[in-house]
A and B are shown apart, each in its own frame.
Chain A
Amino acid sequence: MNRHMQYLASQAVAGKLSRRDFLGKAAALGFTAVSANLLLSTAAKAAGPQKGGTIRLGLQGGSTTDSLDPALVTNTVGLMVTRLWGETLVELADDGGIEGKLAESHEASADAKTWTFKLRPGVTYSNGQNVTAEDVVKTMERHSGEDTKSGALGIMRGIKDVRADGDSVVFELDSPNADLPYLLADYHLIIQPNGGNDDPAAAIGTGPYIMKSSDMGVRFVAEKNPNYWGDLGNADTVEIIVINDDTARVAALQSGQVDVIDRVPPRTAKLVDRAPNITVHSTSAAGHYVFIMHCNTAPFDNNDVRMALKYGINRQEMVDKILNGYGTVGNDTPINASYPMYTELEQRQFDPDKAMHHLKKAGHDGSILLRTSDNSFPGAPDASALFQQSLGSAGIQLDVKREPNDGYWSEVWNNKPFCTSYWGGRPTQDQMFTTAYLSTADWNDTRFNNEQFDQMLVAARGELDVAKRTQMYADMSTILRDEGGLICPMFNDFVEATTDNVDGWVEGIPGQVLMNGYAASKLWVKA
């Protein structure tokens, strides 16, 4: 029976049987639509990618104020466009490891302080120039220079010196860092001719596509790069349309105007998935929705107040009602199973008695003020109301103040002592902790100052023994969970959708949105 179905599926993929007929036959044989579709897509993947056609993406998060300069990329559209025309030295592999892109191979010195990346020979930019080690050095300098505006500045800080050595590039670090390749996989660090110093927004790179037109915040068109060194890029043309309105984006997918969309609203994702020609993909990720308390500001400077609030939140309810099930429960640490050296800690549960106990111990009375707005994360005001209720059942009064979306990131976040926010996550524990929980971190938005934590973080960075390092990260997570200013009730999945017009979606790729930003070049249009 199954073999017969597989045969039918391969017929359908080869175009000898219409999809509708296939699904009809499958239903007659007792297969559900889901398993039949799965069979079909497995057969399609076995048949291999098809070349040609146009793939169209409708994406949220682009703006007319954007730039093609990779240093200034801040949103999904920027990430997707950059991935089309440019490449980094190394990249996250589908399994969460590191694979070479422009660097063919890399190795670290025994103390993890000197790293050598060997460039892939014979790669050219879209303008015909050869990629040189000097370009790589210039690129790194541009992102780490004194007057840079690069989003990668934070992660470049530990790099003391970058120099070209024949066809290799050598990085000298201030202190050992076993995770350097993960840092260099950052999407800002696109290698450009002369480091992009001449015209950073020229979109000249080594990527699988060449930009044909770029209308910021509106529409981007790219065509296949005939001289691309690798095998990325199936469609001849990629078109990216910026659709910031949720309903409009879903409608564009349903009406067949685009093949792929990102950020399907969790509230309607199940309805969208029910449409016959659409598949919703939910990818667990490192992104999390949070309530952040400043550990140095009263009343949150008392750990018992923080614990009271942590026990007073109903995490499962948040996942069910705010994410509509498209996510996982958090444990007051920014680390979840999507990280390479994750250790599971005991899950903290909603416990009104313990919450009250800690609040009494702290001697705090009166209410606590939480600030929120819709753009801190989708549904943040609702989540705040749920938090208010669960705390209320523990006898703790929470006041919720709704702030305007405009100016939230400058006026409230990282400014007021207790507010809602989100984190996109990072590829490694080290990067996540260094970005937000190190005492001296630029975005220490919980004002967390813990000497022991800082020391462990630096020590773990230079530790090449994976078992020891894993234990160190588990200990750091425990410190954050029990003393930190972070209440992390949930990790949000990336919820994205494709039409049956395209195939090749790989589930569960870690890192960024839309198959780590490679959806446009790895998916293919079905003939």
Chain B
Amino acid sequence: MSPVFKLLAQRIALSLLLLLLISMVIFAGTMILPGDVAQSILGQSATPEALANLRAELGVNDPPVQRYFAWLFGAIQGDLGTALTSGQDISEALASRFWNTLFLAFWAAVVAVPLAIFLGLLAVRFKDRWPDKLISGVTLASISIPEFLIGYVLMYLVAVQLRWFPSVAMINDNMSLFEKLNAIALPIAVLTLVVLAHMMRMTRAAILNVMQSAYIETAELKGLNAFQVIYRHAFPNAVAPIVNVVMLNLAYLVVGVVVIEVVFVYPGMGQYLVDHVSKRDVPVVQACGLIFAAVYIGLNMIADVVAILSNPRLRHPK
């Protein structure tokens, strides 16, 4: 078996094991939430009879281990159960939400990733000169401000004052792609600002690291101009760490946008999760947790796979 294949198989098996462990943690975690689903659904208007009726109907009295395995086997087959609060099929309800979240994450990534890498390259090219300092300064400032605040500021300037884009990023199936992009322009902008600094600085650092190498000196002595050196010789060797940080940020774009979705009223997973957490709708919380974990682990696994494949020493075993 080639070492590349063996490494990849190991890495994938590890991811699956991790996912299994996380499913246990998620299940155990939701067990110890304070409060009770029936009380939360009915809120202040709960009468004792209504509470008892709802509890019996929800069947929240079985032993936990039995419920864990039932849940796990269901999840493996794509059946995430039904929401306690609405009786909806979770897989069905989550599908459109998840798609919406991916839609937002995808377009944010389309803007943010090339921009970050380009800015990173630019910063290296003009290292320690004003473009480098400007790029670093602006991106560091934007990552230091809480994302909801960036959201509010953009909302005030761009939506309320200038009226360029809507402040409510409501999308629905009847909208054309252009209308949808118009609706999500502001959240895309906020997400871009939030993830830009991390990716841009990692790109810059990784390339600078490679630039110390002897072969870069050779390339420079060969007479290549600075951009060619960076683009053709430094960048390919810095791919692994860059992909790593890009994947980390993509994962963030999918699982970390809860606040942005709430602020911009975007109908994604985040909003769905928040509503169900506050109602103690455990199956939905578990389903969301599992999906988020899968996305996170999956993207990290891809980053590792890319790192392994981009390592020539593994590709050409002795």
**Chain A residues engaging chain B, CB cutoff 8 angstroms:** 58, 63-67, 74, 146-151, 153-154, 213, 215-219, 241-245, 247-248, 251-252, 254-258, 404-407, 409-411, 413, 442-443
Contact = CB atoms under 8 A, between A and B. Distances in A.
Nearest to A56: B168
Contacts of B93: 64
A257 B168 contact: yes
B39 A409 contact: yes
Contacts of A216: 86
A251 B33 CA distance: 34
From B156, B168, B275, name the one whose CB has the most chain A CB atoms within 10 angstroms: B168
Contact of B263 (A146, A248, A258): A248
Contact of B160 (A151, A218, A219, A254): A254
Interface string B27-57: 0000001111001111111011110011000
Interface stretch (B137-145, B215-223, B264-272, B309-317): B264-272
A255 B163 contact: yes
B67 to A, nearest CB: 20
Contacts of A443: 44
Interface stretch (B15-23, B120-128, B276-284, B293-301): B276-284
Which residue among B45, B53, B170, B279 has the maximum number of chain A CB atoms within 10 Å of its CB?
B45
A489 B143 CA distance: 43
Contact of B152 (A74, A218, A242, A247): A247
Contact of A247 (B34, B155, B279): B155
B170 A218 contact: yes
Nearest to B47: A442
A406 B167 CA distance: 28
A406 B272 contact: no
Interface of B is mostly: helix
Shortest Cβ-Cβ A-B pairs, 7 listed: A407-B35, A65-B85, A410-B39, A64-B275, A407-B34, A63-B275, A255-B159
Interface in B42-79: 42-45, 47-50, 53-54
A213 B172 CA distance: 11
B43 A74 contact: yes
B42 A149 contact: yes
Contacts of B265: 218, 241-245, 248, 252
Interface in B67-102: 83, 85-86, 93
A411 B172 CA distance: 38
A173 to B, nearest CB: 19
Contacts of A258: 168
Contacts of B160: 251, 254-255
A153 B159 CA distance: 45
B8 interface: no
B262 interface: yes
Contacts of B131: none
Contacts of B168: 58, 241, 243, 248, 252, 257-258
A151 B281 CA distance: 19
26 contacts: A65-B281, A148-B49, A149-B54, A151-B42, A153-B50, A213-B172, A215-B172, A215-B267, A219-B172, A245-B265, A247-B263, A248-B155, A248-B167, A251-B156, A251-B159, A252-B265, A257-B159, A257-B167, A257-B168, A258-B168, A406-B277, A406-B278, A407-B35, A409-B40, A410-B40, A411-B34
Given A148-B53, A405-B278, A410-B40, 14 more contacts: A65-B86, A147-B53, A148-B50, A149-B54, A151-B42, A241-B170, A247-B155, A255-B163, A406-B277, A407-B34, A409-B40, A410-B35, A413-B44, A442-B47
Contacts of A217: 271-272, 275
A65 B83 contact: yes
Contacts of B48: 442
Given A148-B50, A247-B152, A406-B34, A255 B279 contact: no
A154 B47 contact: yes
B273 to A, nearest CB: 9
B24 to A, nearest CB: 23
Most buried by B among A257, A405, A410, A442: A410
A243 B168 CA distance: 8
B163 A256 contact: yes
Contacts of B277: 406
Contacts of A245: 262-263, 265
